[in-house]
Amino acid sequence: MYTGGIDPHTHLDMEFMGSGTIDDFFSGQAAALAGGTTMHIDFVIPVNGSLLSGLEAYEKKSKKSCMDYGFHMAITKWDEVVSKEMEIMVNEKGINSFKFFMAYKGSFMINDELLLQAFKKCKSLGALAMVHAENGDAVYEGQRRMIELGITGPEGHALSRPPVLEGEATARAIKLAGFVNTPLYVVHVMSIDAMEEISKARKSGLKVIGEPVVSGLVLNDSWLWDPDFITAAKYVMSPPIRAAGHGKALQAALSMGTLQLVGTDHCTFNSTQKALGIDDFQKIPNGVNGIEERMHLVWDTMVESGQISVTDYVRVTSTECARIFNIYPRKGAIRAGSDADIIILNPNSSFEISAKSHHSRSDTNVYEGWRGKGKVEVTISGGRVVWLNDELKVFPGSGKYVEMRPFSYLFNGIGKADAKYLSSLKAPVKRFRATT
Ligand code: URP
Ligand code: ZN
Ligand code: ZN
Ligand code: ZN
């Protein structure tokens, strides 16, 4: 019996790349509950840059929720209005984290100047800055290169945005956050390059959190070369799923504590939607499934193989997320006063993943055919049994919005470090003036 999973990274009912994700707040959450996840944190996307309008839209979308959820807010442009709206989000709306895109040039991407302003604002509010770390200008260049070479298929996606571009942006974000002295959360760490930057930063005392996602941990990029377009296209996400060695290295980093928690980036498009990019990989909607599979796959890959303990499993799938987003011990713990979100995972029974039996609305599953040990047999959400005997009992409207307060433990000591830095600047410099 363990505390229910918390997925820190999902995109339900999101408009993206000319499509809408196929799972909404009901189907995505039902799938989550069937897989032992009892809370997720989704990314609100602003409407024409407005955070308030974005939140309003997501409040409507999430009315059909059957599981508890919270929100991060994406920031897609920067001006005084956005800066003021960030205050409202943190002080009145229960949002304590903001995601900045260093990629998706021409749509979500923001430049370093704005990133710095935004980091400063996050710090003043006690909100956690999150980054999608890829060098968007270089990705754009890589895409031009592939098209010129006539590489238009899904493999062009991976070839156009290699690990070095993820490593570069991760290092840059870490250094800028360090310069501002505010904590940083790197979402979907997919490569050794990015992981090593996080490792280096943490060793030097910087407050950097690294989130691998299940696809990056357990899959590899070989699928992108599959001759069948739909098979290949379903693996297209950003940053891309990497060559095999990267996943193994990310697993090791997770087991050593270099990376702290596991998300999914559940952002599901069906075959018809993926086919938008049949002639051009740049038009394939980016994203893979995982909200239902995460708890099973982390157990099978990490615990069953002996890489992490059961205690670590609970930490990386639930407790650490609750601590980072300041909702512990209401979430992420089984104790008096906590929400009764509990799972029973039977280590001796097995699971099998297939689009035929999963609960997502997608017609494909990137983990199709995966068989493993350790099955979530019971899920209890808010004290109610919602998953038992392979049956879901869920109702739209039963999920609650979980407000998240600013100044999580990651902000401890920030003020002291600032004071020390300032006093070091004010130390008098003795200068002698030549007299005549
Ligand atoms: O491919 C991805 N990751 N889709 C979702 C958007 C994002 O960047 O997280
Ligand atoms: Zn992203
Ligand atoms: Zn994402
Ligand atoms: Zn399943």
Secondary structure, 3-state, the chain:
CEECEEEEEECCCCEECCEECCCCCCHHHHHHHHCCEEEEEEEECCECCEHHHHHHHHHHHHHHCCCEEEEEEEECCCCHHHHHHHHHHHHHCCCCEEEEECCCCCCCECCHHHHHHHHHHHHHHCCEEEEECCCHHHHHHHHHHHHHCCCCCCHHHHHHCCHHHHHHHHHHHHHHHHHHCCCEEECCCCCHHHHHHHHHHHHCCCCEEECCEHHHHHCCHHHHHCCCHHHHHCCCCCCCCCCHHHHHHHHHHHHHCCCCCCECCECCCCHHHHHHHCCCHHHCCCCECCCCCHHHHHHHHHHCCCCCCHHHHHHHHHHHHHHHCCCCCCCCCCCCCCCCCEEEEEEEEEEECCCCCCCCCCCCCCCCCCEEEEEEEEEEECCEEEEECCEECCCCCCCCECCCCCCCHHHCCHHHHHHHHHHHHCCCCCCCCCCC
Is 2 strand, coil or helix?
strand
Ligand showing the shortest atom-to-Cα distance for residue 133: 2
Q: Which atom belonging to ligand 1 lies closest to the Cα atom of 238? A: 1
Determine the pLDDT at residue 196.
98
Ligand showing the shortest atom-to-Cα distance for residue 10: 3
Going by alpha carbons, the residue nearest to atom 3 of ligand 1 is 238
Q: Record the tokens describing residue 180, joined without a space.
A: 């501002």
Check pocket membership of 10 for ligand 1, CB cut-off 6 A: no
Ligand showing the shortest atom-to-Cα distance for residue 16: 1
Determine the pLDDT at residue 435.
77
Determine the pLDDT at residue 104.
93
Check pocket membership of 241 for ligand 1, CB cut-off 6 A: no
Q: How much is the pTM?
A: 0.97
Check pocket membership of 132 for ligand 1, CB cut-off 6 A: yes
Check pocket membership of 286 for ligand 1, CB cut-off 6 A: yes
Determine the pLDDT at residue 384.
98
Is 299 strand, coil or helix?
helix
Residue ranges and CATH numbers for the domains of the chain are 2-419 (3.20.20.140)
List the end-to-end C-alpha distance of the chain, in Å, as a whole number: 84
Distance 385 CA to ligand 2 centre (A): 33
Q: Which atom belonging to ligand 1 lies closest to the Cα atom of 99? A: 9
Determine the pLDDT at residue 401.
98
Distance 246 CA to ligand 2 centre (A): 18
Which residues of the chain have a pLDDT value below 50?
A: none
* Number of separate helices (H) and strands (E) present in the chain: 16, 14
CB 5 within 8 A of CB 40: no
Going by alpha carbons, the residue nearest to atom 8 of ligand 1 is 238
Check pocket membership of 267 for ligand 1, CB cut-off 6 A: yes
Determine the pLDDT at residue 430.
86
Ligand showing the shortest atom-to-Cα distance for residue 186: 2
Check pocket membership of 14 for ligand 1, CB cut-off 6 A: no
Check pocket membership of 166 for ligand 1, CB cut-off 6 A: no
Determine the pLDDT at residue 280.
98
Check pocket membership of 238 for ligand 1, CB cut-off 6 A: yes
* ipTM value: 0.92
Distance 370 CA to ligand 4 centre (A): 10
